[in-house]
């Protein structure tokens, strides 16, 4: 049987990413928050989006549980499914970037191989990797969703930090330590760094 994929030919539309960026008045890219459950990824992404929205930046948040409840609800938490989860999110993020949107993603993204794949799919010049640094002891103390307790009790398998490893990013673009700095300072730092990258090239 012939490979049917050979018949897939992507269409180049007249209104491209550059046109969308020019209309919006800013560049589009992905801000990918990486970190343990409970480290503060979603909270930082949400507060950052609030500020960028006030500043007139077109944004959209892709969050772990939200994606798992819809687009990726067919995936479990095996190593293969977790990698596929990240791959799909990267592809969706790329579409949003092409639409001129600044995408904020909040996913544990525990494996370097998967994060490298994200950079390959999205493009290194379109990705800002933010490592939300927080010791597991602090994350477990917070345990906002009660997940660590369930993982310790064996109710959740392949839980990052407990029964599955987290590979710390070696060279993230930005780092926010949520155990040592408060939310307001972390958001101010991110806004400053990200707004500096929004300007369109002359």
Which domain covers residue 148, as residue numbers? Answer: 27-195
Q: Which two tokens stand for residue 169?
A: 């990013």
Mean pLDDT of the chain: 91
Instruction: State the CATH number of the domain containing residue 90.
Output: 3.40.50.300
Number of domains in the chain: 1
Q: Does position 2 have pLDDT exceeding 60, yes or no?
A: no
Q: Is 38 left (phi over 0), alpha (psi -120 to 50) or beta?
A: left
Asked if residue 138 is part of any domain, the answer here is yes
> What does DSSP assign to residue 135?
-
- Any domain includes 200: no
Q: How far apart are CA 78 and CA 84, in angstroms?
A: 10
* Residue the block writes with tokens 């459950």: 37
Residue 7 has pLDDT above 80, yes or no: no
Does residue 4 belong to any structural domain of this protein? no
| Gap between the Cα atoms of 53 and 51, Å rounded | 5
pTM of the model: 0.91
| pLDDT tens track for 141-185 | 998 889 999 999 999 988 999 999 999 999 999 999 999 989 999
Residue 99 neighbours by CB under 8 Å, 6+ apart: 17, 20, 28
Q: Compute and round to an integer the Cα radius of gyration of the chain.
A: 18
What confidence score (pLDDT) does residue 3 get?
Answer: 67
Examine residue 9 and state whether it is found in any structural domain, yes or no.
Answer: no
Q: Do the domain assignments include residue 8?
A: no
| pLDDT tens-place string over residues 18-66 | 899 999 999 999 999 999 999 999 999 999 999 999 999 999 999 877 8
Q: Which of 28, 42, 109, 126 is an active site residue?
A: 109
C-beta separation of 45 from 183 below 8 A: no
Q: Can you give the pLDDT at residue 1?
A: 47
Domain assignment present for residue 1? The answer is: no
The DSSP bridge partners found for residue 91 are: none
Nearest CA among 66, 140, 126, 64 for reference residue 96: 126
Q: Is residue 62 part of a domain?
A: yes
Active site residue 109: yes
202 falls within a domain: no
How many other CB atoms are there within 10 angstroms of residue 110's CB atom?
22
The band of 202, judged by pLDDT with boundaries at 50, 70 and 90, is: low
């Amino acid at each position: 049987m012939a490979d049917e994929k050979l018949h897939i030919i992507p269409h180049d539309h007249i209104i491209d990413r550059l046109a969308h960026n020019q209309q919006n008045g800013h560049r589009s890219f992905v801000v990918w928050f990486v970190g343990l459950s409970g480290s503060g990824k979603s909270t930082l992404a949400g507060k950052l989006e609030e500020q960028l929205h006030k500043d007139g930046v077109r944004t959209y948040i892709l969050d772990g549980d939200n994606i798992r409840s819809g687009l990726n609800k067919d995936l479990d938490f095996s190593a293969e499914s977790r990698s596929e989860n990240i791959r799909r999110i990267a592809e969706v993020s790329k579409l949003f970037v092409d639409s001129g949107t600044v995408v904020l993603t909040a996913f544990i993204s525990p494996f370097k191989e998967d994060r490298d794949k994200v950079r390959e799919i999205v493009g290194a010049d379109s990705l800002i990797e933010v490592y939300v640094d927080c010791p597991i002891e602090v994350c477990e103390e917070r345990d906002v969703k009660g997940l660590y307790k369930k993982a310790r009790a064996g109710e959740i398998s392949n839980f990052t930090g407990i029964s599955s490893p987290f590979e710390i990013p070696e060279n993230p673009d930005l780092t926010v330590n949520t155990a040592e700095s408060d939310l307001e300072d972390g958001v101010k730092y991110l806004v400053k760094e990200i707004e500096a990258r929004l300007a369109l090239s002359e």
